[in-house]
Amino acid sequence: MLPKQYRLRRSAEIKRVRELGQGWRHPLAILLVVKNEQTISRFAFTASRGVGKAVARNRARRLLREAVRLHLSEIETGWDCVWIARAKTADATFSEVETAVLHLLSRARLLRTDTLPGAASEPEETGRGM
């Protein structure tokens, strides 16, 4: 479960992101983001009735929430994000949803480059000048 401090809870906060936020689309989800004045990023997850009945909507939200939770340490701070599940999300596997989440975060430039796999935190030594 996503810790409380990372959740957008009030409908007014979600409405602000939906009205003012910039968006990116993927076949499995939509990401809307707007800058906040805090030291953390906060998230909300929604699914309309177009996704399916309650069980399908809940599954779609759970998949998105878990994919974001696993990558919290890689996400830039200071953003409010609303994730909107699309019709195909409920039928997707977790790895497909996780790939979609990472793709959208990357397109929104919300992934920290220092935490990406293969990104060196320090320059590698070349062996010269020793």
DSSP string of 57-76, one letter each residue: HHHHHHHHHHHHHHTGGGBP
pLDDT at 43: 96
| pLDDT, averaged across the chain | 88
Q: What is the pLDDT of residues 87-122, one digit of tens each?
A: 999 999 999 999 999 999 999 999 987 655 554 444
63 CB neighbour count, 10 Å cutoff: 25
Residue ranges and CATH numbers for the domains of the chain are 4-110 (3.30.230.10)
- Average pLDDT rounded to a whole number, residues 53-66: 96
pLDDT band for 1, please (50, 70, 90 cuts): confident
Global pTM? Answer: 0.83
pLDDT at 80 over 60: yes
